[in-house]
């Protein structure tokens, strides 16, 4: 059986570690990132990425609160620091050829191709049945930077005008700090809770062509970064069915965010952009003393957040026949057309000896954006649907450990061959590669 640490070790409070971790979060965690499952990462930290995020019943380190706060009770107390280097490739096009006087498509590749995603975790045992900790991690995924404004340039070409230079892109990122407490109730049950404090950043440029569809065209685009603080909660449990089989579950509430005053002409209901609720259930099984496998099912309720889930404009609405409530920024305003998302994760951990651990995993999610809603897909890219991961850890003397992981997201495409933009075909496609390095120390 793969050993999950017991609960008998207590440690002294490490004040310097708390201060150091908090400083690390503030310095690094607000970096823009590019995610895979919508704007959620498949996993958080090198160990989690190595198994494609399958961790709700298979905790491995002190970043586990990002998956399930109950997991803090089943890992050694200590410290984890992780850095992921993401390389997304994003391409988009709007083919107005033959519409009006347009004689060529507008296409470009996003210039933003490298991102750094930090994370850390820390825990200590207060007594036999209580573990306190904190995890910090980042989300994002809607980060593009095109050297051409697809919509403005296409509109000018259709009208027979010489296009003026323009840029198109969005910058979206979340930093989440999650203090947690985990309680072990007897031999079989572990429970955890984590309040979630989130800083959310958003900016966009290149949407001036949509001003006629907005309740306030002056608060729609090109207004710089807007930062908001939000809050929510995550609860979780792990049930040890047998010493070698575990069931886990977590639920994360919506993270509520105040209205964006700079973009109240873009987001529904005068600037609302909350983070969606989600839940995960899963199993892990120690097949042998060296091999453990885990499976997670996650459901993310993107469609319940109006700005994300409301449909974009119909052709008639784009032509100007639009109700006031349906305008960008309106009470039932236009959105990005995302569906709720189901994610399937499977991972394996193989430990041939006490020092070396190998990992592998697969992450699959449904198609998030229907092709009928592809109009804004170049700006806000849909996620990759299939990700392959692998990684390893090597334990050094003194409780130190180094981990690495690699993730490859296979090329994916969203396309509407007759979009609402004068019938012009629109396409967004891309893939992602990522490399993660982590350091851990048990106390």
Each of the 443 residues of the chain gets a pLDDT tens digit; together they read 344 444 334 333 444 444 444 444 444 444 444 557 888 988 999 999 999 999 999 999 999 999 999 999 999 999 999 999 988 888 999 999 999 999 999 999 998 778 888 899 999 998 889 999 999 999 875 588 999 999 999 999 999 999 988 899 999 989 999 999 999 998 999 999 999 999 999 999 999 989 999 999 999 999 999 999 999 999 999 999 999 999 999 999 999 999 999 999 999 999 999 999 999 999 999 999 999 999 999 999 999 999 999 999 999 998 889 999 999 999 999 999 999 999 999 999 999 999 999 999 999 999 888 999 999 888 876 667 899 999 999 999 988 999 999 999 999 888 999 999 999 999 999 889 999 999 999 98
User: DSSP states of 110-127 as a string?
Assistant: -S---EEEEEEEEEEEEE
| pTM metric for this prediction | 0.91
The DSSP 8-state label assigned to residue 381 in this structure reads P
Q: Are 112 and 144 in contact (CB under 8 A)?
A: yes
Q: Are 168 and 205 in contact (CB under 8 A)?
A: yes
Tokens linked to 285? 């099984």
Domains, the chain, in order of start with CATH, read 15-442 (2.40.160.60)
**C-alpha to C-alpha distance for 19 and 435, rounded to whole angstroms:** 27
Q: Which residues contact 60 (CB under 8 A, 6 or more apart)?
A: 45, 47, 48, 51, 75, 349
H/E run at residue 54: none
Q: Are 423 and 408 in contact (CB under 8 A)?
A: no
**C-alpha to C-alpha distance for 141 and 409, rounded to whole angstroms:** 13
Cα distances (Å, whole numbers) of residue 81 to 8, 20, 101, 120, 277: 24, 11, 55, 4, 26
Tokens linked to 193? 């809770």
Q: List the one residue out of 353, 350, 357 whose CA is nearest residue 402.
A: 357
Quote the pLDDT of residue 18.
Answer: 42
DSSP H stretches of helix in 283-357: 306-309, 315-318
Q: List the one residue out of 39, 29, 41 whose CA is nearest residue 407.
A: 41
Quote the pLDDT of residue 296.
Answer: 98
Quote the pLDDT of residue 382.
Answer: 63
Quote the pLDDT of residue 11.
Answer: 35
Q: Give me the residues paired with residue 294 across strands.
A: 284, 347
């Amino acid at each position: 059986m793969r050993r999950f640490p017991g609960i008998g070790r207590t440690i002294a409070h490490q004040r310097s570690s708390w201060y150091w971790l908090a400083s690390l979060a503030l310095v690094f965690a607000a970096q823009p990132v590019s995610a895979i499952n919508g704007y959620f990462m498949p996993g958080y930290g090198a160990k989690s990425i190595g198994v494609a995020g399958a961790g709700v019943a298979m905790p491995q380190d002190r970043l586990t609160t990002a998956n399930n706060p109950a997991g803090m009770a089943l890992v050694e107390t200590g410290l984890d620091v992780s850095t992921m280097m993401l390389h997304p490739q994003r391409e988009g096009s709007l083919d107005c050829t033959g519409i009006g006087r347009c004689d060529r498509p507008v296409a470009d590749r996003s210039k933003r191709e490298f991102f750094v995603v930090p994370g850390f975790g820390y825990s200590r045992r207060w007594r036999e049945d209580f573990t306190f900790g904190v995890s910090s991690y980042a989300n994002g995924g809607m980060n593009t930077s095109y050297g051409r404004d697809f919509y403005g340039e296409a509109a000018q070409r259709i009208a027979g005008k010489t296009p003026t230079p323009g840029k198109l892109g969005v910058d979206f990122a979340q930093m989440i700090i999650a203090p947690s407490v985990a309680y072990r109730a007897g031999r079989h049950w572990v429970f955890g809770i984590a309040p979630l404090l989130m800083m959310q950043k958003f900016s966009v440029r290149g949407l001036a062509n949509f001003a006629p569809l907005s309740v306030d065209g002056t608060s729609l685009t090109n207004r710089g970064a807007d930062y908001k603080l939000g809050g929510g909660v995550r609860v979780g449990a792990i049930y040890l069915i047998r010493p070698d089989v575990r069931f886990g579950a977590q639920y994360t509430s919506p993270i509520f965010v105040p209205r964006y005053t700079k973009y109240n002409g873009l987001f529904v209901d005068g600037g609302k952009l909350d983070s969606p609720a989600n839940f995960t259930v899963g199993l892990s099984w120690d097949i042998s003393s060296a091999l453990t496998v885990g499976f997670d099912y996650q459901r993310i309720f993107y469609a319940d957040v109006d700005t994300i889930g409301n449909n974009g404009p119909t052709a008639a609405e784009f032509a100007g026949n639009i109700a006031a409530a349906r305008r960008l920024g309106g009470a039932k305003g236009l959105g990005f057309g995302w569906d709720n998302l189901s994610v399937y994760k499977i991972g394996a951990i193989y430990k041939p000896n006490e020092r070396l651990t190998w990992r592998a995993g697969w992450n699959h999610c449904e198609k998030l954006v229907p092709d009928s809603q592809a109009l804004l897909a170049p700006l806000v890219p849909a996620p990759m649907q299939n990700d392959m991961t692998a990684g390893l850890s090597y334990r050094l003397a003194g409780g130190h450990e180094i981990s690495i992981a690699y993730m490859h997201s296979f090329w994916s495409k969203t396309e509407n061959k007759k979009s609402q933009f004068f019938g012009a075909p629109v396409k967004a496609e891309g893939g992602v590669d990522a490399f993660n390095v982590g350091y851990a120390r048990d106390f």
